[in-house]
Structure 1
Amino acid sequence: MRVGEMMGRQGGAGSVTDGLVPGAERHGRSVQWRRHVAGADLSAVPGVRCALRELLRHWGEPGVPDVAELLTSELVTNALIHTEHGAVVTATMTPRTLRVEVRDFATALPTPYAPAIDDGTHGRGLVLVQALADAWGVLTHGVGKVVWFELTSRPAGPVGV
């Protein structure tokens, strides 16, 4: 059920995205947001970060949304650099938990590694995810994989408002 339908049944008024960023839908106590990113379109990463920041505007303890933004940026960038077919980013937010999934269409599984000192900025994304997320993992999918992480936080306010 889309947000607008739910509002209509509850007697509320408004558009499909009342209080939510474009692409977000409310499902009971959770909010889900999805964005497709074209292959090799690194210019889309700031837009993903901005939309996630807006989605998390009233969620969690101070600093936790910043960590979510950083980790999402790392996973999206990895998907765009290491695959050719783009990615689908999904964020599912409940009052206490955020789960972000980045699905790509390449079969190679990522592994975190400690980069060499002269490696520039490459190779640190999954190390950051491993260090900062409450949980993370990789799921194989029919074609491709999903790299995900979860963050847990005390609610700072109503979800999606």
Structure 2
Amino acid sequence: MRRHVRGGGPTTVGAPSAQLSRRLTHADLRAVPEARRELRELLRHWGRPGRSDIAELLTSELVTNALVHTDRDAVLNATVTPRGLRVEVRDFVGRRPRPRVPTADDGTHGRGLVLVQALADAWGVRAHGVGKSVWFELAADGPDTDGV
């Protein structure tokens, strides 16, 4: 697992952006809590209360999907600016993900993209020559989300 963080410190108005970039090794689910921890550090001084919690949740969903539903490595990129956060998880499989309504038989599976769709300010899928990126954005000044 390689990680690269640029920038750092508080992200206040007029401050430059900060970035996290990390290669995720195929089927290494230890990368999920590690990615959450690294994102939490990146977002330590960012946004309204609760926004970082949502960012961590959505990032872990996208990372988990990339590691569980593909047979390849993935790449996590997060960019935080005073205005917002953009997280992309790129994998190297062209099959497009689709949100689906989970059933009671699914246990905890099938909820990742439904959560992203419900909680992100924007999200989508971008095709690449090989593979795709699933991304979401959160505004720093989004609604107060205490209790999420």
Q: TM-score, normalised by structure 2?
A: 0.87
Alignment pair present for 1:109 and 2:90: no
Q: 1:138 & 1:88 partners in 2: Cα distance?
A: 14
2:84 to 74, 97, 111: 97
Q: 1:116 & 1:82 partners in 2: Cα distance?
A: 19
Q: SS at 2:34's partner residue?
A: helix
Q: 1:30 & 1:44 partners in 2: Cα distance?
A: 24
Q: CA deviation at 1:96?
A: 1.4
Structure 2: runs of 5 or more not aligned? 8-14, 143-148
Deviations 1:8-44 (A, max 9, x none): xxxxxxxxxxxxxx62113x72111101110011111
Note the aligned Cα RMSD (angstroms): 1.6
| 1:83 partner amino acid | T
Residue of structure 1 in register with 2:5 after alignment: 24
Q: SS at 1:69's partner residue?
A: helix
Q: SS at 1:112's partner residue?
A: coil
Identity %: 65
| 2:24 partner amino acid | V
Q: TM-score, normalised by structure 1?
A: 0.80
| 1:106 partner amino acid | V
What is the total number of aligned residue pairs between the two structures? Answer: 134
Structure 1: runs of 5 or more not aligned? 1-21, 156-161
Residue of structure 2 in register with 1:137 after alignment: 124
Q: SS at 2:125's partner residue?
A: strand
Deviations 1:67-100 (A, max 9, x none): 0000000000000001111210000110011000
Deviations 1:96-119 (A, max 9, x none): 110000000001000001011121
CA contact (8 A) 1:33 1:92 kept: yes
